[in-house]
Amino acid sequence: MHTPIQLFDPASSTYTYLIWDEASFEAIIIDPVDTQLQRDLVVISERGLKLKYIVETHAHADHITSAAQLIELTGAQAATPAGCGIKPSAIQLQDGQVLQFGGESFKALHTPGHTAGSMSFVWRDHVFTGDTLLIGGCGRTDFQSGSAAALYRSLTQVLLNLPDHTTVWPGHDYKGQTHSSIAQEKISNLRLIVDGRLRTEAEFITLMDGLQLPRPKRIDEAVPANLSLGVRHDAYERHAALTQPQVPKQAGYAGDISPQLAYQWWQSGEAVLIDIRSAAERAWVGFIPNVPGIEFKIWPGMAINPEYEAQLQAAMQGKPKGSKVMLLCRSGIRSIPAAQRAQALGFEAYNILEGFEGDPDAQAHRNTVGGWRARGLPWAQN
Ligand SMILES: [Fe+2]
């Protein structure tokens, strides 16, 4: 049986993990980072993995998750600790809850302390500890509903009670260490052990309360975004004001364009507008009259449409090379790879920000936070 794939984000020293069932290739990703999305997608596709769940150990303060993007691009579901209040997640994990992937089991353990909702996860003889237990250390408890007393109990009564040979995979490491074991932490974790004995709860609380750590640099932007699985709602005001396409972060397509500007370009004939959502989405959610639909992914299963390129070329028949084409999806994420493929065919391809439905709001409902519909642009329903 394989060990987890451990991936590292140097900017935040965050570890992301991939585990899978070797018969079905169903997979779980733990704590993915937004800036590493393309890397993670390459690893997933190279290994032939079918991502089933995107799991967060807690609502992070030091990086933004790529969960919302992974949902859109892979069809996986988000599973996050119920106590973290990440409302758009499909699965609100309770203590002891087990996720199945293929024939494998992945068990959630509520380990509060770093944050009130924090969880650790056990798979076979591995434990993913997030910021609860780090190698030789533990997460801070001085912000974000943290509690040193709760952390002491999570460490000593939950995690250190796992079998000694259990491999510990932390959420971060700042010294290049990759993993540890419960046995090793029982003897060498300096937050817990002093003079060869376990600190008392009172000693641990005094130590944690005296740490005087600097405030996390990205807490004000990262925590609100992570409560929405990585969606940054502050972006919508800027989108609305865009009078020019934005240069995309990822190479490979011409730019990101707001729904309003896409509407203008479509009306003036400056660019062709194509709806790349599945036929099911167009039928159930709504469509834009007189706009061709070319599926980028096909429902159910959301496999990439093998005819996408051919159908796009047919739709652009008679247009010169370099003509502008704008791709619309549900939320402006699937349309990025669709735009990259259109650009590779020789068109000037734009991703329409926010998509048709925008992003989930705090109640996980769409069509209120950005998107073609919520922006008041024309659409219809059968
Ligand atoms: Fe954290």
7-48 pLDDT, tens digit per residue, is 999 999 999 999 999 999 999 999 999 999 999 999 999 999
- 5-226 shares its CATH topology with 235-352: no
Instruction: Say if residue 214's pLDDT is above 80.
Output: yes
pLDDT at 113: 98
Instruction: Say if residue 291's pLDDT is above 90.
Output: yes
Instruction: Say if residue 301's pLDDT is above 80.
Output: no
Reading the block at residue 149, the tokens are 């007393």
Distance in Å, CA 75 to ligand 1 centroid? 26
Distance in Å, CA 181 to ligand 1 centroid? 20
Domain ranges of the chain: 5-226, 235-352
136-189 pLDDT, tens digit per residue, is 999 999 988 999 999 999 999 999 999 999 999 999 999 999 999 999 999 999
Instruction: Say if residue 264's pLDDT is above 80.
Output: yes
Amino acid code (one letter) for 48 = G
Give the model's confidence band at 240: pLDDT under 50 very low, under 70 low, under 90 confident, else very high. Answer: confident
Reduced to 3 states, what is the DSSP secondary structure of residue 342?
helix
Superfamily of domain 235-352: Rhodanese-like domain (3.40.250.10)
For every residue of 268-291, DSSP letters joined together read HTSSEEEE-S-HHHHHHH-B-TT-
pTM of the model: 0.90
Distance in Å, CA 286 to ligand 1 centroid? 39
Neighbours of 98 (CB within 10 A): 11
Q: How many residues does the chain have?
A: 382
Distance in Å, CA 66 to ligand 1 centroid? 15
The dihedral over CA atoms of 57, 64, 235, 52, expressed in degrees to the nearest 10, equals -60
Distance in Å, CA 80 to ligand 1 centroid? 14
Tokens 């090379």 sit on residue? 321
Q: What CA–CA distance (Å, rounded) separates 180 from 202?
A: 26
Distance in Å, CA 172 to ligand 1 centroid? 9
Distance in Å, CA 349 to ligand 1 centroid? 38
Amino acid code (one letter) for 139 = G
- On the question of a cis peptide bond just before residue 216, with omega within 30 degrees of 0, the verdict is no
Indicate the range of 12-21, 164-173, 225-234, 267-276 predicted with least confidence. 225-234
pLDDT at 250: 62
Q: What CA–CA distance (Å, rounded) separates 240 from 258?
A: 7
Distance in Å, CA 144 to ligand 1 centroid? 9
- From 274, 356, 261, 379, select the one nearest 317 (Cα to Cα): 274
Strand partners, 134: 137
Ramachandran region of residue 117, left (φ > 0), alpha (ψ -120 to 50) or beta? Answer: alpha
Helices (H), 143-296: 148-153, 182-188, 201-209, 219-226, 235-240, 259-268, 279-285
What CATH number labels 5-226? 3.60.15.10
Distance in Å, CA 61 to ligand 1 centroid? 6
Instruction: Please work out, in degrees rounded to the nearest 5, the angle formed at the alpha carbon of residue 39 by the alpha carbons of 68 and 248.
Output: 65
Give the model's confidence band at 103: pLDDT under 50 very low, under 70 low, under 90 confident, else very high. Answer: very high
Distance in Å, CA 62 to ligand 1 centroid? 7
Cα-atom radius of gyration of the chain, to the nearest Å? Answer: 23
Distance in Å, CA 272 to ligand 1 centroid? 44
Distance in Å, CA 346 to ligand 1 centroid? 44
Which of the two residues, 50 and 238, has the higher pLDDT score?
50
Which of the two residues, 361 and 320, has the higher pLDDT score?
320
Distance in Å, CA 131 to ligand 1 centroid? 5
pLDDT at 368: 86
End-to-end CA separation in angstroms for the chain: 50
Distance in Å, CA 32 to ligand 1 centroid? 13
326-366 pLDDT, tens digit per residue, is 999 999 999 999 999 999 999 999 999 999 999 888 788 88
Q: Mean pLDDT, the chain, as a whole number?
A: 95
Distance in Å, CA 157 to ligand 1 centroid? 20
